[in-house]
Amino acid sequence: MGTKTIPIVKKILNANDQIAQENNKVFKDNNILTINVMASPGSGKTSMILRTIKELSSMCRIGVIEGDTAPVTIDSDKVSNLDIPVTQINTGGECHLDAMMVRKGMEQLDLTNLDLLIIENVGNLICPAAFKLGEDFSVVVASIPEGDDKPYKYPNIYRGIQALILNKIDLLPYLDFDMDYFQKGIEVLNPGVSFFPLSCKTGEKFGPWINWLKNYL
């Protein structure tokens, strides 16, 4: 009997990354722009998606994959009320979507009839950051009530994203949110990331976000 060390040097989430790459190829083959929307619970992911659909549905065909930890259809019902194809993935308590779950969601949608696919991840600032899904862009929706210290406490979610939305700016007069402190944290984690402070409720400053998306459609 002998002992031996076998070198591997392999990223542990490689398997997920590989499936994500395959998903991305399917999206590209179908000319679909895909965004992965991540945020904490209650930041306004669904509100952002609904308003984005309202602003863009006249110019492109949109589909949504809804990730939820429990089999409640609150979010997907709101999307389907807008006559948008939507499929829901129940993660069965898992804290994030992974590339394989998204693949199953993709099978439920007619990809030949889409220009933009929005994936709403599970509300969580930690786990979704580690799992690529095959998206073209990752977007985080932060919000004023969460506080200005979130980039310092949950640095990973802000890294490697292409756009950062800061929702609920209509609440700025009522809360102690230090914009400068927030932005300094972001600058360390993700220098030059596209940044959109806006309000999904009032529509204030929603235009720049829509224009940013239009650039890629």
Partner 1 sequence: MHELAVTESLLRTASDYGEKNHADKVTALNIVIGSLSGIVNDSVQFYWDIITANTLCEGSKLKFCKIPAKFNCQACGNEYEIASELIPCPKCGSMDLRIIQGDEFSLESIEIEKSDQ
Interface with partner 1 by CB under 8 A: which residues? 1-16, 94-96, 98, 124, 126-127, 129-131, 151-153, 155-156, 159, 184-185, 187-189, 191
Q: In the complex with partner 1, which residue's Cβ is closer, 190 or 199? A: 190
Cα(17)–Cα(165) distance, integer angstroms: 25
Q: How far is CA 35 from the centre of its chain?
A: 6
Q: In the complex with partner 1, which residue's Cβ is closer, 94 or 115? A: 94
Q: In the complex with partner 1, which residue's Cβ is closer, 13 or 82? A: 13
End-to-end CA distance of the chain: 61
Q: How far is the CB of 184 from partner 1 (least distance, A)?
A: 4
Q: In the complex with partner 1, which residue's Cβ is closer, 48 or 189? A: 189
Q: How far is the CB of 185 from partner 1 (least distance, A)?
A: 6
Nearest to 40 by CA among 173, 142, 152, 133: 142
Q: How far is the CB of 29 from partner 1 (least distance, A)?
A: 27
Q: How far is the CB of 64 from partner 1 (least distance, A)?
A: 23
Go through 134-156 and write b for each residue having 16 or more CB atoms within 10 A of its CB, e for each that does not.
bbbbbbbbbbbebbbebbeebbe
- The dihedrals phi and psi of 57, each to the nearest 5 degrees, come to -65, -20
> How do strand 116-120 and strand 86-90 relate by DSSP bridges?
unpaired
Q: In the complex with partner 1, which residue's Cβ is closer, 56 or 189? A: 189
Q: How far is the CB of 216 from partner 1 (least distance, A)?
A: 27
The CA–CA distances, whole Å, from 151 to 26, 47, 130, 201 equal 33, 22, 16, 23
